[in-house]
Chain A
């Protein structure tokens, strides 16, 4: 049974991505009791799936390591993984949260030796790599996963594979009888940091993501560029594994569009500019855009990428993509805005810079909350002691999400401080 000790002076953080982790750590480091509830089997969220950060092109693993170390060292922080908040009742200063914890089938004895993964045979789409490639039925989600503990896919439970995993474990870490649990605990304030998801590219019908193998999304390209990713860092075409010689990026794929996401997702311009630095200098790169939104200090990065000889910019929202059946090349059709020239350009690979869709479910949100027309949580007095952090509040890059989360932590601390003052 998972035990969570919490009071009305505890801060509940929902979501353990970069924003949730930041808010939880900042609050815990001021001495507050914090419970962090994370749906995935590990913390770090989508940042763990990034190869590099813009604009410095440094590795997110670096900051992640620091945050994970801060988490391990802090006795005020209780991280509950594979858990989802199903209900919150009460008001600011006096909430009761209901949390459903899915079984991991692996207990804290796990040393992450990997013997169970070697023993099992069944393979599943690797969600960490956006379903490019496979993972085993017993797996460590990624190399730096925190907690550093294996997971058994619920689909193998009851099969021979599950028994093989158990038999292979030398430290008795596999518990096949683990059950789903529902726990309740108190909290004074809630930080909602459920982040974002990539906009479903299948909905952008003219771009053919669902029917053209060599049209992929920016998050998939990111995994492909990572040396620890499914292709070992090789940038290759999904259709035939051919090394790419020319790649096109399509901006605003699902953003700033009445038919899709209303808002500008803010990160995609910089993400594509960053990704334009991944291929070798011989690779032709074309960026199709409406306008490049590289704000303040990012302008320098934009200018640097612009100066690269192999990168060209085409001011045009691509109208449609048609596959050349002979060679599998996607052909981009449209009219550019600088000269109104009609083009039909072939590329080896097309990357859709998909937008940020908030992972805030309006319909099932547990408490009264003000959500704007774009699906993000508005800062509003009606929200009581519930504060959005990071991409629950707006489309933000990591830097701004971290700043925003720190602000949210301060709001939550104010609420629990008031509780402390009245309870003496």
Chain B
């Protein structure tokens, strides 16, 4: 267990709802849910969730901290916004799902090999290098995330796609060497660092 996780358990011992309200993006909306279930029914990936959004909200209010932060349900969200469009109470459900995912990641509670979490990390690392996404390297990182052998298999399976993307100039082989960058890379990195400091600060205050 991470130190931060231990500290948060200590601080919010009796109320996971309060913890969510204080630390999860848009978490203050959770108490507004009236359990109609239209979000769960409207989710195109709904059947792949262990706990649909409406159930997650109820679990938060029922103090089921381990179950909520330990599930990978919120990682199933593809940001289609169907739930937000239909929610009669106007809860920003998509944002809360991402907020919960981010929070469980911070606390080090994400399930191992959760594909969306893995992709998110690879995407983030890729983006941070140059301030621009390097599609070629992103693709390769995804192919090879489960080892060299699997990576070759993935690359072969998607060979045609890669070639077509190059033909259509959607991807450039030269990107392998360095790759394109934002104009002011050090400025970009400073900005991200500052934002991270602010976020860390907020969590420390919460401790």
A258 with B90: CB separation less than 8 A: yes
Q: Which of the four size classes fits the interface of chain A?
A: 20 to 34
Q: Report if A319-B86 is in contact (Cβ < 8 Å); known contacts: A334-B37, A334-B41.
A: yes
Cβ–Cβ < 8 Å partners of A320 in chain B:
41-42
Most buried by A among B37, B52, B55: B37
Is B87 within 8 A of A333, CB to CB?
no
Q: Which residue of B lies closest to A256 (CB)?
A: B88
Please tell me the number of chain B residues within 8 Å of chain A, measured between CB atoms: 20
B88 pairs with A316, CB closer than 8 A: no
* Interface residue? B47 (CB, 8 A): yes
| Contact (Cβ within 8 A) B54 A335 | yes
| Any B CB within 8 A of the CB of A337 | yes
Given contacts A290-B34, A334-B37, contact A319 B89 (CB under 8 A): no
A257 and B87 alpha carbons, distance in the complex (Å): 8
Q: Is the CB of A317 within 8 A of B89?
A: no
C-alpha spacing A317/B86, complex, angstroms: 11
Check if B18 is an interface residue, CB within 8 A of chain A: no
* 8 Å CB contact of A206 from B36, B42, B89: B42
- Contact between A335 and B46 (Cβ–Cβ < 8 Å)? yes
- By a beta-carbon cutoff of 8 Å, the part of chain A in contact with chain B is 206, 252, 256-260, 290, 315-320, 333-337, 340, 342
Give A355 Cβ to nearest chain B Cβ, in Å.
Answer: 11
Knowing A258-B89, A337-B54 are in contact, say whether A319-B42 is a contact too (CB < 8 A): yes
Q: How far is A320 from B82 in the complex, measured between Cα atoms in Å?
A: 11
Among residues of A, the one whose C-beta sits closest to the C-beta of B47 is A342
Q: Is B111 an interface residue (CB 8 A)?
A: no
Is B35 in the interface zone, CB < 8 Å from A? yes
User: Of A256, A315, A316, which contacts B41 at CB under 8 A?
Assistant: A316
Question: Which B residues are closer than 8 A to A by beta carbons?
Answer: 34-38, 40-42, 46-47, 51-52, 54-55, 85-90
Residue of B nearest to A334 (CB): B41
Q: Are B88 and A340 in contact (CB under 8 A)?
A: no
Q: Which residues of B contact A335 (CB under 8 A)?
A: 37, 40-41, 46, 52, 54
Q: Cβ of B88 and Cβ of A317 under 8 Å apart?
A: yes
Cα distance, A317 to B38, chains bound together (Å): 5
Q: List chain A residues, Cβ under 8 A from B55.
A: 340
Task: Given A258-B90, A259-B88, A317-B88, output 13 extra A-B contacts at Cβ < 8 Å.
Answer: A260-B88, A290-B35, A290-B36, A317-B36, A318-B38, A319-B41, A319-B86, A335-B40, A337-B54, A340-B40, A340-B51, A340-B54, A342-B47
Output the nearest chain A residue to B51 by Cβ-Cβ distance. Answer: A340
Tell me which residues across on chain B come within 8 A of A290, comparing CB atoms. 34-36
**B37 lies within 8 A of A336 (CB):** yes
Q: Which residue of A lies closest to B82 (CB)?
A: A319
Query: CB-nearest residue of chain B relative to A319?
Result: B41
Contacts of B40 in A (CB 8 A): 319, 334-335, 340, 342
Q: Specify which chain A residues have a CB less than 8 angstroms from the CB of B87 in the assembled complex.
A: 258
Contacts A337-B35, A337-B36, A342-B47 given; indicate if A257 touches B88 (C-beta within 8 A).
yes
Point out the residues of chain B lying under 8 angstroms from A258, CB to CB.
Answer: 87-90
By a CB distance below 8 angstroms, the chain A residues around B42 are 206, 319-320
